[in-house]
Amino acid sequence: MTRFTAPIAEQIWDMKYRFKEADGTPLDHSVEDTWRRIARALAAVEAEPEVWEPRFYAALEDFKYLPAGRITAGAGTARSVTLFNCFVMGTVPDSMGGIFDMLKEAALTMQQGGGIGYDFSTIRPKGASVTGVAADASGPLSFMDVWDSMCRTIMSAGSRRGAMMATMRCDHPDIIDFIEAKSDPARLRMFNVSVLVTDAFMEAVKADAPWDLVFDGRVYRTLDARDLWNRIMQATFEYAEPGVIFIDRINAANNLNYCETIAATNPCGEQPLPPYGACLLGSVNMARLVDRPFEDGADLDEEALVSLVGTAVRMMDNVVDASRFPLEAQAAEARAKRRIGLGVTGLADALLMVGARYGSEEAARLTDRWLHRIARAAYLASVQLAQEKGPFPLFDAEAYLASGTMEAMDDDVRDAIRIHGIRNALLTSIAPTGTISLYAGNVSSGIEPVFAYAYTRKVLQKDGSRTEEEVVDYAVQMWREKFGDRELPDYFVNAQTLAPQDHVRMQAAAQKWIDSSISKTINCPEDISFEDFKDVYMAAWDQGCKGCTTYRPNAVTGSVLSVSEDKQDLSAAPEARSDTSEGAEVVHLSEPLRRPASLEGQTYKVKWPNTEHAIYITINDVILNGHRRPFEVFINSKNMEHFAWTVALTRMISAVFRRGGDVSFVVEELKAVFDPRGGAWVEGKYIPSILAAIGGVIEQHLISIGFIEGEGMGLKADPKAEVVNLPGQGAGPACPSCGQYGMQMIEGCMTCRDCGHSKCG
């Protein structure tokens, strides 16, 4: 018997969370071993670990409580990794030395696996004078480019790339450059970017008033507030960034506004944090807590929910003491305030099980009720911990209870806090749960609607072959088990069929009881008008949200295949459904190409300084549907020191090329390799390593054959082959981890639905 309800769940566990030796030998022989490892590690900080270990195990069992990936993968392994997901770094000084000190801290944090956020509003604008050097400042965007380059070279723990969030105030003189930076597809790829929008700015937008751009007390420029708002809206309409963070609302609601000021968030935006702030994450799986799903009287077991939340809060509080931290300043900040971020996943599935249509008034009412119960249970559990272990060190009862969030809390909870204190300054957050949701049986992510009810994915087998398997939403699978092929009811809706305002309604309902913030994507149809698109953001402001992230499919962000409105197609058995979608414009390769008898190619010579022999790179191409594309690479050198790695590189790159699709990421990966012994100047350009030089040669070849647009740019034309997606599935960009075309904007972050890889770490 296995606890996994779907093959993809077991594959995610084995790939991301299973504890293994360095050579790949499993130390967790089953998922029960993983749960036992986590429970034992978090109970170890208790005075009576033998009492708490079985209780922690019971919470983890059957995926009821889901610690975030860093805890699941790292707890109890003795590895030098942090168990915290979220960090905001220190305030960036407006000096060259201070800026590069911050860069070093960022590298150390990402090296241990933490995603980071920075506010770049503190750096003087482009063109401002620099005292003592007779020069003008290059501005914050130039330093963001440096951060971006650094992030490319850091492979985070657990095979995760570093993830970063950059914020800038709406009154900074360089705000327009910041807004438009991501219009260049080759720039700031490692960053998510968001504008810090103030209450005063929103009032100016509504009043159509002027708006000053200011730094260090000097007004650099005055423009129309509504014009600046339209620029923000136009940018996110066209390429999904920047996001919008209502920063004054965040600070007013913050339980700790008496001792900290927030100006940045973690990469997905659900954790607004002060300088050196850190937060850990975990989610209660709502889909596992519904009594009598799809039957009359189906409802969430709220007693079980309250009990589970209490245990989860204790486990998360223990992580503060059990975790390592990249920097001592982060450890001190975490222990002074003991922030945790308990959220939910499987909300949409739970709503389906009780017969509520996601986005409806009824669904919003249930969301409000359920999250209210979670908030109460979390705060009261933290009060009990304060009685047992003491409140967080910076607790000040009257100041704490005067914050916006606590003023809305129930009187009995407020009274308990006033009398006994509270262990954790903040307790709730809705984080991205894409990977752990797959691990838990493909439950719906966070508070998002179901993205798609079923799809097929290609699975690479040990013998190199690929097989297809169906991935089914958890609630849909339960429906099939109960009712077979019966048609899905009308209240089954998905992310593509919902109106944007339904998304906003659900985010606002959840935000009422979340003391941090929410990572959520509001899906908009491609043909939404610009005015209607702007209304989504204004509705988010008017309804009390702390921020807003949208996704509108287009040529820049990625297209989405048409959604089938035939519910019978979605609920039918796999063999009864079609694997094609009419009208799909983007189709992609998924199987290896066969080698023709002869190929055309080109050989390039690379002479690396201070080496005796040159390297020769031959790239052969294949013609596919009238387009020339790379098929194989041969790298040769008489230098025997190069032999092993050139052969390995030849085989790996050729294997990737033969898989087809968008293989331009190979160039990006090679060009990001830095030699610790130093690079070299070649033809007036600094190249950080021999591998980067090879990447540059391949890039120039791809440009010459018309495969990519230009240096640092993406595909010139989409590769063509058969469609492997089911109706309702997106044909997004290629995943840099598994190579499948499953990248979608989910919970504010590009995430692969096939392997769970996330741009945000």
Q: What is the pLDDT of residues 586-612, one digit of tens each?
A: 323 344 566 777 788 899 998 888 777
At 452, is the secondary structure helix, strand, or coil?
coil
Cis previous bond, 733, omega within 30: no
For the question of residue 266 being annotated catalytic, the response is yes
Mean pLDDT (the chain, rounded): 85
For the question of residue 270 being annotated catalytic, the response is yes
- Rounded to an integer, what distance in angstroms lies between the CA atom of residue 348 and that of residue 470? 20
Contacts of 227 (CB under 8 A, 6+ apart): none
- Rounded to an integer, what distance in angstroms lies between the CA atom of residue 557 and that of residue 237? 10
Of the listed ranges 428-437, 468-477, 596-605, the least confidently predicted one is: 596-605
pLDDT score, position 556: 66
The percent of residues above 90 in pLDDT, for the chain, comes to 57
- Rounded to an integer, what distance in angstroms lies between the CA atom of residue 81 and that of residue 88? 17
When pLDDT is averaged across residues 19-43 and rounded to a whole number, the result is 94
pLDDT score, position 754: 66
Per-residue tokens: 160: 């995760």
Distances, alpha carbon 577 to alpha carbons 319, 505, 564, in Å:
46, 33, 11
- Rounded to an integer, what distance in angstroms lies between the CA atom of residue 240 and that of residue 549? 8
β-bridge pairing 466-472 and 522-523: unpaired
Angle between helices 49-60 and 302-322 (to 10 degrees): 120
Question: b/e per residue, 318-328, with b = 16+ CB within 10 A?
Answer: bbbebbebbbe
Per-residue tokens: 57: 């195990």
pLDDT tens digits along 353-368: 999 999 999 999 999 9
Per-residue tokens: 83: 């168990």
pLDDT score, position 336: 97
pLDDT tens digits along 232-278: 999 999 988 999 999 999 999 999 999 999 999 998 989 999 999 99
Residue type for position 226: R
CA 573 to chain centre: 32
Of the listed ranges 48-57, 135-144, 501-510, the least confidently predicted one is: 135-144
311 neighbors 385 (Cβ within 8 angstroms): no
Query: Element (H or E) spanning 761, and its range?
Result: none
When pLDDT is averaged across residues 531-552 and rounded to a whole number, the result is 95
- Domain borders along the chain are 86-253, 600-704
pLDDT score, position 721: 28
Per-residue tokens: 173: 């003189």
Residue type for position 141: L
When pLDDT is averaged across residues 110-121 and rounded to a whole number, the result is 85
pLDDT score, position 663: 81
Per-residue tokens: 530: 């610009």
CB neighbourhood size of 131 (10 A): 6
Q: Quick one: 538 exposed, middle or buried, by C-beta within 10 A (0-12, 13-18, 19+)? A: middle
Q: Quick one: 485 exposed, middle or buried, by C-beta within 10 A (0-12, 13-18, 19+)? A: exposed
Distances, alpha carbon 628 to alpha carbons 594, 621, 712, in Å:
15, 6, 19
At 124, is the secondary structure helix, strand, or coil?
coil
Supply φ then ψ for residue 536, to 5 degrees: -60, -45
727 neighbors 735 (Cβ within 8 angstroms): no
Contacts of 648 (CB under 8 A, 6+ apart): none
755 falls in which pLDDT band (50, 70, 90)? low
Per-residue tokens: 124: 């003087």
When pLDDT is averaged across residues 659-678 and rounded to a whole number, the result is 78
CB neighbourhood size of 386 (10 A): 21
pLDDT score, position 587: 29
pLDDT tens digits along 66-80: 999 989 999 999 887
CA nearest 387: which of 414, 410, 419, 412?
A: 419
Residue predicted with more confidence, 419 or 648 = 419
- Rounded to an integer, what distance in angstroms lies between the CA atom of residue 86 and that of residue 278? 5
pLDDT tens digits along 145-192: 988 888 877 643 334 456 899 999 999 999 999 999 988 877 888 899
CA nearest 27: which of 79, 63, 70, 69?
A: 79
- Rounded to an integer, what distance in angstroms lies between the CA atom of residue 693 and that of residue 713? 17
Per-residue tokens: 260: 């900290």
- Rounded to an integer, what distance in angstroms lies between the CA atom of residue 413 and that of residue 357? 31
E-state strands within 218-286: 218-224, 243-246, 264-265, 272-273, 278-285
- Rounded to an integer, what distance in angstroms lies between the CA atom of residue 753 and that of residue 729? 10
> Max alpha carbon distance in the chain (Å)?
82
Q: What share of the chain is helix, strand, coil (3-state, %, to 5)?
A: 40, 20, 40
The percent of residues above 70 in pLDDT, for the chain, comes to 85
CB neighbourhood size of 476 (10 A): 20
- Rounded to an integer, what distance in angstroms lies between the CA atom of residue 492 and that of residue 494? 7
At 743, is the secondary structure helix, strand, or coil?
strand
Supply φ then ψ for residue 368, to 5 degrees: -60, -45
Query: Element (H or E) spanning 257, and its range?
Result: none
pLDDT score, position 583: 31
- Rounded to an integer, what distance in angstroms lies between the CA atom of residue 690 and that of residue 711? 18
Res. 497: pLDDT tops 90: no
pLDDT score, position 590: 42
Residues forming beta bridges with residue 130, ordered by sequence position: 135
Looking at 270, 333, 448, 632, which residue is catalytic?
270
Of the listed ranges 95-109, 595-609, 694-708, the least confidently predicted one is: 595-609
Q: Quick one: 413 exposed, middle or buried, by C-beta within 10 A (0-12, 13-18, 19+)? A: buried
197 neighbors 203 (Cβ within 8 angstroms): no
Query: Element (H or E) spanning 482, and its range?
Result: helix 474-483
Residue predicted with more confidence, 17 or 157 = 17
CA nearest 237: which of 665, 646, 554?
A: 554
Residue predicted with more confidence, 361 or 637 = 361
CA nearest 646: which of 676, 681, 617?
A: 617
Res. 209: pLDDT tops 80: yes
At 385, is the secondary structure helix, strand, or coil?
helix
Res. 459: pLDDT tops 90: no
Looking at 85, 192, 266, 442, which residue is catalytic?
266
Res. 5: pLDDT tops 90: no
When pLDDT is averaged across residues 612-627 and rounded to a whole number, the result is 82
The residue to which tokens 């099980």 are assigned = 353
Which DSSP state fits 173? T
Residue type for position 473: D
459 neighbors 465 (Cβ within 8 angstroms): no
CA nearest 542: which of 265, 304, 202?
A: 202
Question: b/e per residue, 51-86, with b = 16+ CB within 10 A?
Answer: ebbeebbbbbbebbbbbbbbbbbbbbeeeebbbbbb
For the question of residue 259 being annotated catalytic, the response is no
pLDDT tens digits along 121-133: 999 999 998 876 6
The residue to which tokens 């959220």 are assigned = 343
562 falls in which pLDDT band (50, 70, 90)? very low
- Rounded to an integer, what distance in angstroms lies between the CA atom of residue 240 and that of residue 424? 34
At 346, is the secondary structure helix, strand, or coil?
coil
Distances, alpha carbon 273 to alpha carbons 334, 351, 559, in Å:
11, 31, 34
- The pTM of this model reads 0.78
Contacts of 712 (CB under 8 A, 6+ apart): 185, 186
Supply φ then ψ for residue 73, to 5 degrees: -80, -30
Looking at 86, 170, 268, 279, which residue is catalytic?
268
At 266, is the secondary structure helix, strand, or coil?
coil
- Rounded to an integer, what distance in angstroms lies between the CA atom of residue 154 and that of residue 107? 7
